[in-house]
């Protein structure tokens, strides 16, 4: 669809009486911004995930606003406003912990190309700060269900792209020609997977078709941006679904190549089981409002390559904990050249690994010392995952579960009952543990 065609399109307008969005569901701060823009004579609409999620009866994660006011004009209206972004300049209006993002209408690709937008050789957008009309703003968005506008003047919805029909049908569909839209911004492939998993939508066949062939375009995306996307894919309650879908489209290989290669070759399904267990338990934690951390997530996603590399080092005589740390050090540089992992998460991730062999040491004061370690809880949770995946003796896992839950007397009787003289390795090995670092 080109701009000449689209600019003459009139939107489908759904009046207030015919949709379920009420102002009481919109954050007060977003309403404040919408009304102040309107009073100052600008157009202002709620758009994006806020509108989509409200129409679906879900609670929006945040509220985005689109307006014809320029960022500086928005800035002039709010004291609590900052202009951010290099690729897109956006206004952030801050109310305590809540940030309302206000974006000026922008034109889509065709217009941007003519008036000085920039692309690289593969068609990726490098700059696109070309302001446009409301219609143009609708067509430059990614999916039809993300391009619905709630008009603060009369509380109607404006739909230029048949987004409402797709929303009702549970269809995730890119606006425009999918090949072109993915080349402009390959992260849209990850967004397709994410929204389909989050909303339980089906990706329209035309939107799904080019993904596998274009998956390598992710290699050109800055690692820091991919890190942010990974968190959105895996830490919001639908991680397992995201993982299966990323694997299906060949996208997981572009993000975690070492892990993916092992998933492809492993016969007994162990790493797959392990990652699935990790993501299912992360999803369960999120859905129970418990905390989750990037360190634990990455520990799970990178465990298999690190574990296998540690075995090689152990075979050369290295102590198991040291071998795990060195293995992580060897694997991380390549990994973070694709997906960033800030130090503040990499450090605790490596600690989780290093503590694993210590669970096998149940003699003397060692268990009490491990229990007091600041990273004990995360390392214990990790041990439980390994046990659930069949990688660690369930007796050992049960022992630790009990040990931390009993009083001092209980602890000393458990210490007495623990197999004596255990060092690194349990004696009754199963097939799997022949190849597993100790614990
Ligand atoms: P959520 O906030 O629930 O994750 P969202 O749809 O609000 O989902 P955001 O990343 O907050 O997603 O972006 C807000 C809106 O901006 C989107 O709904 C979409 O219309 C537009 N948008 C965001 N990223 C892109 C992109 N890469 N290409 C085109 N449009 C985009
Ligand atoms: Mg949003």
Q: What is the pLDDT of residue 265?
A: 82
CATH fold for domain 255-435: cca-adding enzyme, domain 2 (1.10.3090)
Instruction: List Cα–Cα distances, 315 to 318, 358, 425, in angstroms.
Output: 7, 18, 14
pLDDT in tens, 362-380: 888 899 999 999 999 999 9
> 123 CA distance to ligand 1 centroid (A)?
20
- Ligand 1 lined by 62 (C-beta under 6 Å): yes
Q: What is the pTM of this model?
A: 0.90
Give the neighbor-by-neighbor strand order of the sheet with 81-84.
Answer: 12-14, 157-159, 148-151, 44-47, 64-67, 98-104, 90-95, 81-84
Cβ-in-10-Å burial (0-12, 13-18, 19+) of 3 comes to buried
| Amino acid 416: pLDDT | 83
Confidence check: pLDDT of 413 > 90:
no
> Model confidence over 128-166: pLDDT tens digits?
568 999 999 999 999 999 999 999 999 999 999 999 999
Q: Which residues contact 107 (CB under 8 A, 6 or more apart)?
A: 3, 115, 128, 130, 131, 132, 133, 136, 137, 140
**Distance between CA atoms of 303 and 108, rounded to whole angstroms?**
42
Beta carbon of 87 within 6 Å of any ligand 1 atom: no
Ion ligand 2 — residues with CB under 5 Å? 49, 62
Q: Whose CA is closest to atom 7 on ligand 1?
A: 49
Range with the poorest average pLDDT among 24-38, 77-91, 230-244, 415-429: 415-429
pLDDT of residue 435: 46
Pairing, β 81-84 against β 90-95 = antiparallel
Hey, what are 163's tokens? 């987004």
pLDDT of residue 312: 97
**257 CA to centre of ligand 1 in angstroms:** 27
Predicted confidence (pLDDT) at residue 222 exceeds the cutoff of 60: yes
Atom of ligand 1 nearest to the CA of 147: 20
- Rounded Cα distance between 355 and 365, Å, is 15
Ordered by start, the domain boundaries in the chain are 3-221, 255-435
Q: Which ligand is nearest to the CA of 128?
A: 1
Residues with catalytic roles: 62, 64, 142
CA 246 to chain centre: 12
Closest-CA residue to 49 (of 33, 32, 30, 68): 30
Round to whole Å and give the CA distance between 276 and 263. 12
Ligand 1 pocket test, pick from 30, 64, 88, 201 with the greatest ligand atom count within 8 Å of Cβ, gives 64
Nearest atom of ligand 1 to the alpha carbon of 61: 3
| Radius of gyration over every alpha carbon of the chain, rounded to an integer in angstroms | 26
Give the position, in ligand 1's atom list, of the atom nearest the Cα of 62: 2
The pLDDT value given to residue 123: 66
**Cα angle value 81/83/87 (rounded, 5°):** 155
Report the separation in Å between the CA atom of 295 and the middle of ligand 2, taken as the mean of its atom positions.
24
How much is the pLDDT for 118? 62
pLDDT at 409: 87
Give the helix/strand (H/E) hosting 81. Answer: strand 81-84
Confidence of residue 357 (pLDDT cuts 50, 70, 90): very high
Longest C-alpha distance within the chain, in Å?
81
Task: Give the Cβ contact number of residue 166 at 10 Å.
Answer: 20
Task: Determine the Cα–Cα distance for residues 153 and 376; give it in Å rounded to an integer.
Answer: 55
| CB distance 161 to 192 below 8 Å | no
Average of per-residue pLDDT values in the chain: 90
Contact (Cβ atoms closer than 8 angstroms) between residue 70 and residue 42: no
- CB of 158 closer than 6 angstroms to any ligand 1 atom: no
Report pLDDT for 415.
87
Per-residue model confidence (pLDDT) at position 421: 53
Distance 30 CA to ligand 2 centre (A): 12
pLDDT for the residue numbered 439: 52
pLDDT at 17: 96
- Does residue 429 carry a pLDDT above 50? no
Residue from 141, 178, 238, 242 whose mutation best tests the ligand 1 pocket (most atoms within 8 A of CB): 141
Share of the chain above pLDDT 90, in %: 78
Helices (H), 200-342: 205-208, 211-214, 223-234, 239-248, 252-255, 257-265, 270-287, 294-315, 320-336
Say how many residues make up the chain: 439
Q: Is the C-beta atom of 187 inside 6 A of ligand 1? A: yes
Decide whether any atom of ligand 1 lies within 6 Å of the 51 Cβ: no
CB 116 within 8 A of CB 130: yes
Token pair listed for 67 = 């307006």
Q: Which atom of ligand 1 is nearest to the CA of 49?
A: 7
* The pLDDT value given to residue 412: 86
Q: Tens digits of per-residue pLDDT, 180-217?
A: 999 999 999 999 999 999 999 999 999 999 999 999 99
pLDDT digits 0-9 by tens, 290-347: 999 999 999 999 999 999 999 999 999 999 999 999 999 999 999 999 999 999 999 9
Kindly give the distance from the C-alpha atom of residue 289 to the centroid of ligand 2, in angstroms, as a whole number. Answer: 20
Contact between 63 and 46 (Cβ < 8 Å): yes
| Ligand 1 site, residue 146, Cβ cutoff 6 A | yes
Q: Which of 80-89, 253-262, 300-309, 312-321 has the lowest mean pLDDT?
A: 80-89
Residue to mutate, 51, 142, 173, ligand 1, most ligand atoms under 8 Å from C-beta: 142
Give the confidence band of 63 by pLDDT, cuts at 50, 70, 90.
very high
pLDDT recorded at residue 9? 73
pLDDT digits (tens, 9 = 90+) for 110-119: 544 544 456 6
Query: How far is 52 from 82, CA to CA, in rounded Å?
Result: 26
Statement: 3-221 belongs to CATH 3.40.50.300: no
Question: Distance between CA 227 and CA 232 in Å, rounded?
Answer: 9
User: Is the predicted pLDDT of residue 432 greater than 60, yes or no?
Assistant: no
Is the pLDDT confidence value at 428 over 70?
no
What is the DSSP pairing of strand 64-67 with strand 98-104? Answer: parallel
Q: So what's the pLDDT on residue 126?
A: 55
Protein residue closest via CA to atom 16 of ligand 1: 48
């Amino acid at each position: 669809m080109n701009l000449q065609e689209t600019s003459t399109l009139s939107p489908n307008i759904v009046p207030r009486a015919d949709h379920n969005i009420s102002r009481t569901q919109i954050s007060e701060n977003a309403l404040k911004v919408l009304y102040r823009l309107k009073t100052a004579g600008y157009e202002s609409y709620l758009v994006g995930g806020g509108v989509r999620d409200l129409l679906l009866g879900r609670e929006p994660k945040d509220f985005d606003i689109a307006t014809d006011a320029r960022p500086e004009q928005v800035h002039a209206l709010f004291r609590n406003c900052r202009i951010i972004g290099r690729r897109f300049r956006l206004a952030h209006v801050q109310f305590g912990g809540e940030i309302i993002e206000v974006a000026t209408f922008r034109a889509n690709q065709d217009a941007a190309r003519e008036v000085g937008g920039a692309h690289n050789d593969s068609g990726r957008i490098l700059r696109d700060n070309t302001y446009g009309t409301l219609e143009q703003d609708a067509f430059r968005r990614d999916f039809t269900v993300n391009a619905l506008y709630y008009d603060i003047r009369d509380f109607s919805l404006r739909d230029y792209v048949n987004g409402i029909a797709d929303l009702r049908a549970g269809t995730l569909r890119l606006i425009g020609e999918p090949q072109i839209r993915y080349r402009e911004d390959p992260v849209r492939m990850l967004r397709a997977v994410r929204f389909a998993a989050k909303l339980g939508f089906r990706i329209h066949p035309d939107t799904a078709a080019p993904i596998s062939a274009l998956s390598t375009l992710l290699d050109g995306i800055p690692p820091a941006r991919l890190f942010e996307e990974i968190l959105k894919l895996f830490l919001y309650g639908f991680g397992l679904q995201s993982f299966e879908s990323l694997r299906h489209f060949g996208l997981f290989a572009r993000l975690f190549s070492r892990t993916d290669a092992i998933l492809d070759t492993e016969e007994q399904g162990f790493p797959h089981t392990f990652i699935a267990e990790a993501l299912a338990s992360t999803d369960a934690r999120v859905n129970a409002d418990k905390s989750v951390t990037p360190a634990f997530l990455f520990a799970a996603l990178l465990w298999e390559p690190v574990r296998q590399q540690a075995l090689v080092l152990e075979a050369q005589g290295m102590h198991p904990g040291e071998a795990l740390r060195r293995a992580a050090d060897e694997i991380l540089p390549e990994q973070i050249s694709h997906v960033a992992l800030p130090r503040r998460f990499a450090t605790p991730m490596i600690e989780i690994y290093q503590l694993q062999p210590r669970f096998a040491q149940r003699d003397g004061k060692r268990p009490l010392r491990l229990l007091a370690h600041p990273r004990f809880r995360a390392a214990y949770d990790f041990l439980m995952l390994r046990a659930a995946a069949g990688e660690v003796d369930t007796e050992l896992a049960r022992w630790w579960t009990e040990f931390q839950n009993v009083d001092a007397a209980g602890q000393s009787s458990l210490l007495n009952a623990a197999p004596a003289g255990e060092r690194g390795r349990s004696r009754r090995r199963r097939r799997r543990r022949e190849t597993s670092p100790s614990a």
